[in-house]
Structure 1
Amino acid sequence: MKKIKIAFILLLAIMVQQQLYAQGKKPNIILIVVDDMGYSDLGSYGSEIHTPNLDRLAAQGLRLKEFYNNAICAPTRSSILTGQDQHKAGIGYFDVDLGLPAYQGYLNRESVTLAEVLKQDGYSTLMSGKWHVGNDSLGWPNQRGFDKFFGIIGGAANYFNTGYMPLGGGKYPVIIEENNKRWHKPDDSYYMTDEIGDHAVKYLDEQSKSDKPFFLYLTFNAPHWPLQALPEDIAKYKGRYNIGWDSLRKERIKKQVELGIRDLSQTVALRDADVPNWDNLTYDEQQLWKSKMEVYAAMVDRMDQNVGKVLEELKKIKKDDNTLIVFISDNGAPAEDVAHGKIHAARNLGPVGTSGSFESQGKNWSFVSNSPLRSFKGALYEGGMSSPLIAWFPGRIKPNTIVTGTAHLVDLAPTFYDLAGAKYPAVYNGHKINPLIGKSLTGLFFKGEPINRDKPLFWELWGNRAMREGKWKLVSAFPTNQWELYDLDVDRGETTNLAAKYPDVVKKLSLEYLTWVNENNVVLDFNLIKPKSAVDIKIGQ
C-alpha cells in the first residue's frame, strides 16, 4: 500500500509538471554558489557536516561526479554569469587590471550576463550574495541586469561587521550594498550568511506578487575565510575533529564509495607533502587545528540552514513545483593560511570563530575537504577545479541520480536559456556579443543523455594550464610549465603521470591547447603580465 501511495504521488507531480508546460509557464531558476568549499564537504558527497537541506535536494535530484570550475573566485564567477571562457569575459586573472582585455579584471560588454538575457525574456532577476567580477560601480549587479541585489561587491568580507579586511599588511576594502546603496549594520548585530539568506527570502516574497518567472542567483561567501561562526553552530561540532585530518579523510573516502560518488577502481590522491601527521602535532597545535575545523563545519552548516529558508519560502509561495535549483562551489578548498603566513592578516583579536578571528581552514583540513582529489584552490589539478553539482527539479529530474557528467561552468548559461526558451542575443546595447561555448545540460539532467562536446575543455590561471579531452587531462603547474598527462578514467587522483609513456598524446593535446590560447587572447608566458604584488600565485600549488 505504501509503495502504491508513493507511486501515486510521483505520478501526480509529473502530471502537474506536464500541465505547467502545456500552459507555457516558464520555469523559475535558482543557482546557488558557495565559496571555497571542497568536493567532499556536503553529506551527500561524503561529509560528516550536517547539511540536510542540500542532501535532500541531492536525494530528490541529481549529483555529478565531475563538474569543473575555474579554480578561483572571480574567474569562476565570470564564466557562471556569461557562459564564456574567463578570458573572453575579461577576467583571465582576478579582479585586478593587468593591462590586457583578457585580463582587465571586470566583465566586458561583449559578454552578457544571465540576468541581462533572462530579463529580456521576461524574468525577474534577483541576486543575494557575493559579486566579485569588478569593483567599478558601472559594472555592479544592478547595472548588469539584476532587478534587485544585496551583497558583497569584492572578494570577501567579515561575517560580523562591515569593516575593512587587514590583508597583506594593507586594508582590503569591503563594499556591501543593496541596490546601489551602501549597507551597514552595527558590528556584531548580524551574521552575513543569514543576511544573504534572509535577503533572498525577502526578494522571493516580493517577487511572488508578480506573474513573472524568476531567476535567483544566490551566492554565499561561506565558508570562505575568515573563520567566523555563530556559537550555537560551533557547539554542534565540539570534539568531532579530535580524531584529526588523517582519520577524517579515511572516513570521508569510505563514505563516498558507499554513496556511489567514488568508484573503488578510481585512485585517491597522494598525501600532500606539506600536510603533517596529526599525531606528530603538539597538544596545543591540535587544539588550534581542531577548533578551526569546528568553525569551518559550523559555517557550512549555517549556509545549509539558509538554503533551507529559501526552500521553505519557495514552498510557501507555491513555486516549488516549477523551479530548477542548481548548487555548486566556485573552487576547491584553499591552502592559504592568512593569519600565520609571511604575508599575513596581522589580526587575531579573539578566539577562532569570533568576530575578532582571522583564521583560515588551511592546507591541512583542505586536504580532507578536497578528498579524494589532488591539490587546492588556485591549482588546475582536480582538487582545485572540481565541485559538487546538485540539480533538483521535481517531476523532471529523476531522484537520487548520480552520473559522471564531466560538465563545466560554461554549460550553465546554455542550460538555463534552453530551459527558459530565452533568446541569446548576437548584439546587446550596441555591442557584438561573444557566442556561447558550452552545451545545454537539459539532456543530461532530464534524460540522462551524455554531453556531446565538439571541443575539449581548457583552462589557464596564474600561468597554470590544463585541458580535458575524453579521458585525458593535460596539466602543468606554474612556473615549471612541464606538461603532465593523466588518464582520469582510472586515475582521478592524478597519481601517475603518463606524459613520458604517451608522447604522441601530449603533442596532439598541447597543439590543441595552443590553438585555444590564440583564439582566446591567453598570455602563454605569465611572467610577462604577472603583477609585482602577486604574492598569492604560489597559493594552492
Structure 2
Amino acid sequence: MSLKEYKTGQSFPGVIGRTFDVSQPAWPAPNRAKDGAPNVLFIVLDDTGFGHLGCYGSPINTPNIDGLAKDGLRYNNMHTTALCSPSRSCFITGRNHHSNGMSCITEGSVGYPGGNGYIPFENGFLSEILLQHGYNTYCLGKWHLTPSEQTSAAGPYDRWPLGRGFERYYGFLGGDTHQYYPELVRDNSQTEAEKTPEEGYHLTSDLVDRAKAMIADAKQVAPNKPFFLYFAPGACHAPHHVPKEWADKYSGKFDKGWDAYRKQVFEKQKELGIIAKATKLSRHDPDVQDWDRLTADERKLFARMMEVFAGFLEHTDHYIGELIAFLKELGEYENTLIMLISDNGASAEGGPTGSVNENKFFNNVPDNLQQNLAAIDDIGGPKYFNHYPWGWTHAGNTPFRRWKRETYRGGVSDPFIVCWPKGIKAKGEVRTQYCHAIDMVPTVLDCLGIEAPVQIRGVTQSPIQGFSLRSSFDNAKAESLHKTQYFEMFGHRSLYHEGWRAVCPWPGTSFSESGLGFGAPMDGKKLTELDAKGWELYNLNDDFAETDNLADKERDRLIAMVGLWYAEAGKYNVLPIDSRGTLRLADPRPQIAVDRKKYIFYPGTQVIPSNAAPRLTNVPHTVSVHASIPKGGAEGVLFCMGGNDGGFVFYINGGKLTYGYNYVADQRFKIEAKNGGIPEGDHVFTFEFAPTGKPDIPKGKGVPANVKLFVDGKVVGEGNLPVTIPISLGLGGGLVMGADTGSPVMLAEDYKPPFAFTGSIKRSLVDISGEPIEDLEAKVRMYLARQ
C-alpha cells in the first residue's frame, strides 16, 4: 500500500477517527527534486587568467579541465568584476557586486550600501534556491563572502555558508590561506587538518576528499537526490604552494620569459579558435621589465616562480580530475551541469620582482630581490607565502592588457567552461556570446526549469540581474542577451554596451605612465577631469584585445557611454568611488561587541580572526598571561597573533621569556629575558609594546617600538623594534593562546609549531588603553579575577 502524502499548505487528506482502525494516515511530503534533475557543480578557480588553462592556449598541463571543455563549451567572452569576493557574490546570487554590497573584498568594506560587505538577504544565493527544490547543498574551499569582522566564534553565523543555504561546509572563510597550514572551518566551527605538511598534507587534495565524502554520504542513502556543489580551492591565489615534484615538471619551460610565453599562447589561442585570427596582441606593458635586460639571477628566480605556479595549477587540475572521475564512477557525470570559472584575471600582487610573502603587498612593503633569491629552493613549500612577478601576470592574461583589480579585459575577462553531457549536444565548441558573472545563476535556473523565488525564508527577493546562456548551448549564433554591463574596481571604471567597451583607467594606463601607484586617492576634481579626458573606447567586434582606442573618432558614442555608466552606477549602488586600495583595509568597522580598551581571552577556545581581534598595529599595548609553571619548568607559546607572513609571538623557550616579532617575513626580531629559570607556580607574564616614533603607512612602515618583558610585574628583559607592520599583522593566522597553530611566526631554529605551552594558562589580558604600567602584577591579577 502506497503512502498518502500532502504538500505544505494543503489540508490533511487522511481520515482521523476515534481509533486507529477507522483512521487513514497521510504524511507531509518530503521535499523532493524533480525526477532526473541534474546535479550542479561550480568549480571556482582563483587568480587564473584567460591564458593560463591548456584549453585556452597555455603550455601548462590541465588535461582534466581540458576534458571538461572537450565534453562541453568554452566561452571567450565571460567577464567578472576584477576582484575575488565581488565576483563570487555575482556567481552565487545573479546580482551585480555593488548590489550585493561587495564593491571590494570584505576586509576593504566601506559604510555605503554598495560596499558595506553585507550581501542582502533579498539577494538569495543559488544554494538557498536549490535547497527549496530538494537539493543537497555543499560548499568546499574559499568562502570570503562574510563580513570579515563576523568570522569569529561570536558570529553572527547568518552570513556563513550554513546561514546562506549550504547544508555542509569545509574550507576557509577568508580571502586566502596557507595551503599546508590552512585556517579550516567545518560547518560553523574551526577545525585542524588531520595531517601535517611532512605527512603529505595539501589543502586541495583535502578539499577533494571531503567533497567526495559529502556526495557519497547522501548518494548512498538517496541516489536520486541531486546536489549543488560549490567547489572553490585556494588555487591559484597566493601563496603558490605545491610539492616540489610538481613544480619540477616545468623545469626550464619558462626560461625564455614572459614575452615568449605571450607570443606562444597568442598563436595557440588563434589555432584553437579561442580568439579570431585577426586579433592583435596587446602591447608589452610599460610596468613589465624587458626579459632580455634582466640579470641572470633575476631570470632564474622569475622562471622558478612561474614553474611553481604552473605546478600549482597542474596539481589543482589533477585533483579536479579526481572529483570528476568520482562523479563518473557514481554514474553522475553525464547529468551534472558543471561550470568552471576564475574569479578575476591573473594577479599582480607579487609586484615587479615577485614576493616570498604576499602580505608585503597588503602592508605597502616593497620586496627585496636578494631575499627572494635566497629563498629560491624553498619557493612552493610551507616556509613562504610566495607570489610570482607581474610579468607573468601580464602573460597569464594573454591576449589582454593589465590584470586583477583593473577593469581592462586582463582584469575582467576569464576562462569559462560549461559541461553538461546529458543536456548539451554541442561538444568541444567555442561560444562568443557576451556574458558576465551574474549570468551563471539564471542559466542554472533555466536549465533546471526553476523560476526565481518570490521569497526565501520570508524575505521578498530582489530581481535577478543576469541573463540565461542556455540559448547559446546548442546554437553558436544565438543572440547575446546581455547587452550592457558596468564595471568599477578601486576607481578603475568601464562599460560594455552592444559590442563596445569604454574604459577609464585609474590611476592610469600603467603605473609608470601615470606616475602613480595602486591605491592613489581620487577626489571630485580628479573625477571630473577623468570624465572629460580619461575615457578610452574600443570596438570589440573588430578589436578583441582592446588595442585601438577610438575615443577621438567616436566622440559622440563615448559621451553617451559615459552617461550610461553613470546611469548604471546609480541603478546598482556604485557610488561613491573609492580608489584607496590597501588603505581601505585600515578603516574601522562595526564590531559585534562594544568598543573597549581591555580584552580577556581564555585557553582552549577557537582562533580569533585578525579582523575580530584587538587592533595592535601602531598603538601602545600590553599583553599579560596568567599561567602556571609545573615542577621542572615549562616551555611553549603563551600568546600569538599572525603566521609566517607576519605577526608576533610571546613564549618561553629554554626557561627564558621571549617576544618574537615577524615583520612581514622581511625581518624577524627577538627580545629575551636576561636570565632564565622561571620558578614553578602561578605567574603573570607580560610584555609592554610602547611606540617610540610615528608610522609611515604609505611606505610600509609601522611604528618603531620599545618592548619590555615582565614576570610578576618585574622587568626581566627589554629591546627595540626598529620597524613594525603598518596595517595587517598576517594573512595566515589570528589570535591564539597556548600554541602557535598553523604556519609559525618564527623560524624553525626558534621552535617547531605548534609549540604548545606545557604548563597551564588561566586567562590573558590585552590592554590597549595606553595607561602606564604601575603595580602591574596586582592590577592584572585583580582585573583577571573579576572576569
Q: Note whether the superposition's TM-score is higher than 0.5.
A: yes
1:490 corresponds in structure 2 to 542
How much does 1:207 deviate?
A: 2.5
How much does 1:430 deviate?
A: 3.1
Alpha-carbon separation, structure 2, partners of 1:122 and 1:207: 12
Residue from 468, 479, 485 that aligns with 1:457: 485
Higher mean C-alpha displacement, 26-35 vs 100-109: 100-109
Please tell me whether the aligned partners of residues 36 and 334 of structure 1 are also in contact (alpha carbons under 8 angstroms): yes
**Superposed counterparts of 1:163-242, under 5 Å:** 175-185=183-193, 187-188=196-197, 189=199, 190-209=201-220, 210=222, 211-242=224-255
- Give the counterpart letter for 1:404 in structure 2: T
Please tell me whether the aligned partners of residues 334 and 362 of structure 1 are also in contact (alpha carbons under 8 angstroms): no
Q: Kindly indicate which of the two structures has a greater share of residues assigned to strand.
A: 2
Please tell me whether the aligned partners of residues 101 and 118 of structure 2 are also in contact (alpha carbons under 8 angstroms): yes
Residue from 101, 117, 126 that aligns with 1:105: 117
Alpha-carbon separation, structure 2, partners of 1:492 and 1:413: 26
1:159 corresponds in structure 2 to 179
Which blocks of at least 5 consecutive residues in structure 1 are unaligned?
Answer: 1-22, 163-174, 537-541
Question: Within the alignment, does 1:38 sit opposite 2:49 as a pair?
Answer: yes
**Superposed counterparts of 1:28-107, under 5 Å:** 28-96=39-107, 97-107=109-119
Alpha-carbon separation, structure 2, partners of 1:24 and 1:182: 37
**Could you tell me the TM-score, scaled by structure 1's length?**
0.88
- Give the counterpart letter for 2:557 in structure 1: V
- Structural RMSD (CA): 2.2
- Deviation per CA, 1:178-206: give whole Å up to 9, x if none: 11121212541410111122211111211
How much does 1:527 deviate?
A: 5.7
- SS of 1:458's equivalent in the other structure is strand
Alpha-carbon separation, structure 1, partners of 2:479 and 2:327: 30
Question: Within the alignment, does 1:321 sit opposite 2:334 as a pair?
Answer: yes
- SS of 1:102's equivalent in the other structure is coil
1:13 corresponds in structure 2 to none
How much does 1:425 deviate?
A: 1.8
Distance 1:272 1:151, change over 3 A: same
1:282 corresponds in structure 2 to 295
Alpha-carbon separation, structure 1, partners of 2:297 and 2:367: 21
- SS of 1:31's equivalent in the other structure is strand
- Give the counterpart letter for 2:231 in structure 1: L
- SS of 1:272's equivalent in the other structure is coil
**Could you tell me the TM-score, scaled by structure 2's length?**
0.61
Report the count of equivalent residues. Answer: 502
- Deviation per CA, 1:302-342: give whole Å up to 9, x if none: 11011111111101111112111111110000111254764
What's the % identity of the aligned pairs? Answer: 33
- Give the counterpart letter for 1:463 in structure 2: G
Residue from 573, 582, 585 that aligns with 1:521: 573
Alpha-carbon separation, structure 1, partners of 2:330 and 2:421: 16
Higher mean C-alpha displacement, 375-384 vs 395-404: 395-404
Alpha-carbon separation, structure 1, partners of 2:399 and 2:82: 16
- Give the counterpart letter for 1:400 in structure 2: G
Distance 1:117 1:451, change over 3 A: farther
How much does 1:344 deviate?
A: 5.5
1:146 corresponds in structure 2 to 166
How much does 1:533 deviate?
A: 4.3
Please tell me whether the aligned partners of residues 201 and 309 of structure 1 are also in contact (alpha carbons under 8 angstroms): no
How much does 1:423 deviate?
A: 3.1
Alpha-carbon separation, structure 1, partners of 2:579 and 2:439: 31
1:374 corresponds in structure 2 to 401
- Give the counterpart letter for 2:218 in structure 1: Q
How much does 1:69 deviate?
A: 0.7
- Give the counterpart letter for 2:465 in structure 1: I
Alpha-carbon separation, structure 2, partners of 1:34 and 1:103: 23
Choose 1 or 2 for highest CA Rg.
2
- SS of 1:88's equivalent in the other structure is coil
Alpha-carbon separation, structure 2, partners of 1:505 and 1:425: 38
Alpha-carbon separation, structure 2, partners of 1:327 and 1:383: 18
- Deviation per CA, 1:137-157: give whole Å up to 9, x if none: 421111110011111101000
Alpha-carbon separation, structure 1, partners of 2:48 and 2:584: 27
Please tell me whether the aligned partners of residues 333 and 370 of structure 1 are also in contact (alpha carbons under 8 angstroms): yes
Please tell me whether the aligned partners of residues 382 and 492 of structure 1 are also in contact (alpha carbons under 8 angstroms): no
**Superposed counterparts of 1:281-320, under 5 Å:** 281-320=294-333
Alpha-carbon separation, structure 2, partners of 1:92 and 1:525: 9
Alpha-carbon separation, structure 1, partners of 2:479 and 2:213: 36
Distance 1:396 1:454, change over 3 A: closer
Alpha-carbon separation, structure 2, partners of 1:298 and 1:242: 15
Which blocks of at least 5 consecutive residues in structure 2 are unaligned?
Answer: 1-33, 509-529, 588-696, 699-787
- Give the counterpart letter for 1:288 in structure 2: L
Alpha-carbon separation, structure 2, partners of 1:439 and 1:335: 31
How much does 1:523 deviate?
A: 1.0
Residue from 584, 589, 593 that aligns with 1:531: 584
Distance 1:431 1:449, change over 3 A: farther
Q: Indicate the structure whose relative CO is greater, using CA pairs within 8 Å and at least 6 residues apart.
A: 1
Poorly superposed stretches of 4+, deviation over 4 Å = 344-350, 527-530, 532-536
Please tell me whether the aligned partners of residues 463 and 524 of structure 1 are also in contact (alpha carbons under 8 angstroms): no
Distance 1:245 1:510, change over 3 A: same
- SS of 1:106's equivalent in the other structure is coil
Distance 1:90 1:444, change over 3 A: same
- Deviation per CA, 1:430-489: give whole Å up to 9, x if none: 322210111111111234352443651111111111111122101112246321111111
1:500 corresponds in structure 2 to 552
Alpha-carbon separation, structure 2, partners of 1:528 and 1:419: 41
Alpha-carbon separation, structure 1, partners of 2:259 and 2:573: 43
Higher mean C-alpha displacement, 94-103 vs 367-376: 94-103
1:128 corresponds in structure 2 to 140
Alpha-carbon separation, structure 2, partners of 1:454 and 1:376: 23
- Deviation per CA, 1:232-283: give whole Å up to 9, x if none: 2112111111121122221111111111112121121111012112121111
Q: Kindly indicate which of the two structures has a greater share of residues assigned to helix.
A: 1
